[in-house]
Chain A
Amino acid sequence: MGGFRLLRYLIRRIVQAVPVVLGVVVLNFLLLQLAPGDAATVLAGEAGGAPVEYVEQLRERFGLNKPIAVQLALYVKNILALDLGYSFRNASPVLPLILDRLWATLLLMGTTLVLSVGGGILLGLLAAVWVRTWKDHLISVAAIVAYATPLFWVGLMLILVFSIKLDWLPTSGMEDAAAFYEGWARVADIAKHLVLPAITLSLFYIALYVRLMRATMLEQRGLDYVTTARAKGLSERQITMRHVVRNSLLPVVTIAGVQIGGLLGGSVVVESVFAWPGLGQLAFQALFARDLNLLLGIFFISSCLVVLVNIVIDVIYLMLDPRIRVG
């Protein structure tokens, strides 16, 4: 596929994403209307902390004495200019506060995505190859149990076993702040802190992908092209690896894309369990401080993130499967 067509596809996907982003802004505006008090007091961080002049200034800027349609237009204008307001609780504008935490969340999400898609595909493949043996049952039962386990509880149980009882891994944070590691030592330290949160967040998704991968592989095995491959004398191993697995990857990638939003939601819980300094923990702190404006900013940025990651996954998908043509 030519680079030009890919670019055109990208532009079309970005244009398609605009209504979603606008929708989130409008949703945020509606949520502000739902909150007790007028929007200015909410934006200023509800339970006080903001000077009266600032609240007045906010009323002016958001046109709170004007008709609701004008208010909406002003709000959309401000947000799209990435003016997410000021957090008095943190004595900082909202946007840098969020961007500051973004990369920790991206690290956790990226690791989880790789771990869960990789682990899910591998275990699902094995379960399908060993179908109806005790190994298949073991994998399937483990997947059903993991699918039903609350994330935060898994996290706490892992801390109980691996940090408190065995003392192998740190309980919380992203790095040992007192140690002042640099270079590779710092990378190793962060990796060590990453293990438990990433496993916690992955378990549910591994379970999801294992079940999907297993089901798809079993379904594919009955199709005609497999019979053809068998008829021309390929070994079962070759059939599985060369044909069945490749065709079974696509549903997993699709669902992985759909699950990005869920992954971000899960990271709120996991980050608050492990004190991982990302968006989720920021949301947790905003929740405690009743800093609704910060919370709305996080919701907006994380929605944008979901849209963005979805576009990236669509492009990967396109590269994985030559059968999908871009129009």
Chain B
Amino acid sequence: MRGFWRRFLTNPRVALSLLWLAFVVVLALGAHVLSPGTPFAIVSKPFSPVLGDFLFGTDSLGRSVAAGLVHGARTSLLISILATLAAVAFGTLVGSIAGFYGGLIDDVLMRVTEFFQTIPSFIFAIVLVAILAPSGVSLVIAIATVSWPPIARIVRGEVLALRNREFVQAAIVAGQSDMAILVGQVLPNALSPLIVTGSLLVANAILIESALSFLGLGAPNLMSWGFQIGAGRAFLRDAWWLVTIPGIAILLTVLSINIAGEGLNDALNPRLRDL
């Protein structure tokens, strides 16, 4: 385990990414302290420039961009993490049932999984949010609904590979229930690819959430980065910072998660590293 942490943290790219992610998490957790009150409050005249009275200026209604960023960090992270957890839970359920029982169950579940991978998932997410009415909960549901298939496939693959190993056979002989074998024996050994894929899914979830909010499908009373960009796009010509700055926040966060996820993969599978 110490080898893992050393491999993970001494990679300079990973360390830098974790630093940024830690910063975003602090912003998200401390949003109400760093910027009390609602980020929708009008604090100044519209379009005050960057590094003036406000760090990142104000938008077309005189709302502080910096306050929006801080509260947006909370929205983005919360929604993406919840959606990913839901996707991982559901994908793990589907994948482990398919891999463990095999046969007809496996066939049916995998066809369903493939179906969800074939349909244009972002359009499906749009339709879902539009029908459920935009809110934090429907965003989580929509993102989770389009994100679970890769998890199901990975878990199925791992379960298939582990199912015939001696320790699982021993557990079957010892009379453990299917559930106990899956949860106690198989899944713990499938954890590392699950963690890596899950971490990359968070990045993807942030991108989907921001695109949905950009299109006006975000939660109406929650400030988010995508919403800021959507609200600022009409003023691109006169107020570049309204669009540019939240976009950089999304970019850096997604980039950091991707790099940290890859670092995690390298650290968990040191032998594959030089491939």
Chain A residues with a Cβ under 8 A of chain B:
19-20, 23-24, 27, 31, 34-36, 144-145, 147-153, 156-157, 159-160, 164, 218-219, 258, 261-262, 264-266, 268-269, 272-273, 283-284, 287-288, 290, 292, 295-296, 298-299, 302-303, 306-307, 310
Point out the residue from A145, A157, A298 that lies within 8 Å of B247, measured CB to CB.
A157
Nearest residue (CB) in A for B125 is: A265
B215 touches A287 (CB 8 A): yes
12 contacts between A and B (CB under 8 A): A23-B115, A152-B214, A152-B229, A153-B229, A153-B250, A156-B233, A164-B237, A262-B121, A268-B126, A288-B216, A298-B123, A307-B118
B127 touches A261 (CB 8 A): no
Interface membership of B254, Cβ < 8 A: yes
For A218, list chain B residues within 8 Å (CB): 275
Number of B residues, CB within 8 Å of A? 42
Alpha-carbon separation in the docked complex, A57 to B118 (Å): 34
Assess the B247–A156 pair: CB atoms within 8 A.
yes
Interface contact B122-A268, CB-CB below 8 Å: yes
Tell me if A31 and B121 are in contact (CB < 8 A): no
The reply to whether A265 and B115 form a contact with Cβ atoms under 8 Å apart is no
Query: Contact check: which of B128, B210, B217, B226 meets A31 at CB < 8 Å?
Result: B128
A145-B127 in contact (CB<8A):
no
Chain A, Cβ-Cβ closest to B133: A36
A34 to B236, CA, bound (A): 38
* Bound-state Cα–Cα, A36 to B211, Å: 24
A299, B118: Cβ atoms under 8 Å?
no
Does A310 lie within 8 Å of B118, measured CB to CB?
A: yes
**Apart from the given pairs A268-B126, A269-B211, A287-B126, 12 other A-B contacts in the complex at a CB distance below 8 Å:** A145-B251, A147-B258, A149-B251, A149-B254, A150-B251, A156-B229, A160-B243, A164-B236, A261-B120, A272-B215, A287-B130, A299-B123
For B131, the chain A residues whose CB sits under 8 A away are: 31, 34-35, 292
Task: Provide the residues of chain A in CB contact with B187, threshold 8 Å.
Answer: none
Contact present for A295 and B126 (CB under 8 Å): yes
Q: Decide if B132 touches A148 in the complex (CB within 8 Å).
A: no
Q: How far is the CB of B85 from chain A (nearest CB, A)?
A: 21
Quick one: which of B119, B124, B244, B255 has the most chain A CB within 10 A? Answer: B119
- Residues of A contacting B217 with CB < 8 Å? 287
Kindly list chain B residues whose C-beta atoms are within 8 Å of the C-beta of A36. 133
Q: Considering the chains assembled together, what is the distance between the CA atoms of A36 and B125 in angstroms? A: 17
Cβ-closest 7 pairs across A and B: A265-B122, A153-B247, A148-B255, A148-B254, A261-B120, A264-B120, A35-B131
